[in-house]
Chains A and B, each alone.
Chain A
Amino acid sequence: MLGLNKKDVGLLLVVIVLTVFAPFILNPFPEGSALAQFNAGYPDLMQRLVIFGIFAIGFNILFGLTGYLSFGHAAFLGAGSYAGIWMIKLLTLNIVPAIIASIVVAGLFSLLVGWISLRRSGIYFSILTLAFAQMSYSLAYSVLTPITGGETGLQPKVSDPRIFDAALAEGTTPRANFFGMFMNDSYELVLGGWVFTFNVGYYIAALFLVIAFYISIRIFRSPFGLMLRAVKSNQQRLNYTGIESRPYTLAAFVISGMYAGLAGGLLVAMDTQAGAERMFWTASGEVVLMTILGGAGTLIGPVLGAGFIKYFENIVSKINESVLQAWFSFMPEGMQDLVVSIFYPFIGKGWHLTLGIIFMLVVIFLPGGLMEGGQRISNLFKKKSNTDSGSGKSSPAAAE
Chain B
Amino acid sequence: MEAIILQILNGLDKGSAYALIALGLTLIFGTLGVVNFAHGALFMIGAFCAVTLSRILTLSHEVIDPTKTDFLGKPLKVDVPYIYNLVGESAGNVIIDWAVPLSILFAIPIMILVGFIMERGLIRHFYKRPHADQILVTFGLAIVLQEIIKYFYGANPIPTPAPEVFKGSFDFGAMLGLEGAGIIYPYWRLVYFAFATVIIGGVFSFLQFTTFGMVVRAGMADRETVGLLGINIDKRFTIMFGLAAAVAGLAGVMYTPINSPNYHMGMDFLVLSFVVVVVGGMGSLSGAVLAGFMLGILESFASMTVVLETLPGINQIIIYLVAMIVLLTRPRGLMGKAGVMEE
Chain A residues proximal to chain B, CB less than 8 Å: 63, 67, 69, 116, 119-124, 127-128, 130-132, 134-135, 138-139, 141-143, 235, 281, 285, 288-289, 292-293, 296, 345, 350, 352-353, 355-360, 362-364, 367, 394-400
Contacts and interface: CB of A to CB of B under 8 A. Distances in A.
B309 interface: no
A138 B319 CA distance: 12
Contacts of B324: 116, 128, 131-132
Contact of B139 (A116, A285, A296): A285
The 3 A-B pairs of least Cβ separation, nearest first, read A399-B33, A359-B140, A356-B143
Given A122-B341, A292-B132, A353 B148 contact: yes
Contacts of B341: 122-124, 398
A135 B327 contact: no
B343 A130 contact: no
Contacts of B332: 124
B340 to A, nearest CB: 7
Given A143-B316, A360-B137, 19 more contacts: A67-B343, A69-B132, A120-B331, A124-B327, A130-B271, A130-B274, A130-B320, A134-B271, A134-B317, A142-B316, A292-B133, A345-B151, A353-B144, A356-B147, A359-B140, A363-B137, A364-B125, A398-B33, A398-B343
A359 B328 contact: no
Majority DSSP secondary structure for residues of B touching A: helix
Given A127-B327, A143-B313, A288-B135, A122 B343 contact: yes
A296 B132 contact: yes
Interface in B327-343: 327-328, 331-333, 339-343
Interface residues of B, number: 49
B270 to A, nearest CB: 9
A69 B312 CA distance: 31
Contact of B129 (A128, A132, A357, A394): A394
Nearest to B37: A285
Nearest to B31: A399
Majority DSSP secondary structure for residues of A touching B: helix
B215 interface: no
A122 B144 CA distance: 27
A334 B89 CA distance: 43
Contacts of B190: none
B333 A124 contact: yes
Given A131-B320, A134-B317, A352 B133 contact: no
Given A123-B278, A292-B132, A360-B137, A281 B271 contact: yes
Nearest to A282: B267
Nearest to A350: B147
B217 interface: no
Contacts of A400: 33, 339-340
B212 interface: no
A355 B143 contact: yes
B289 interface: no
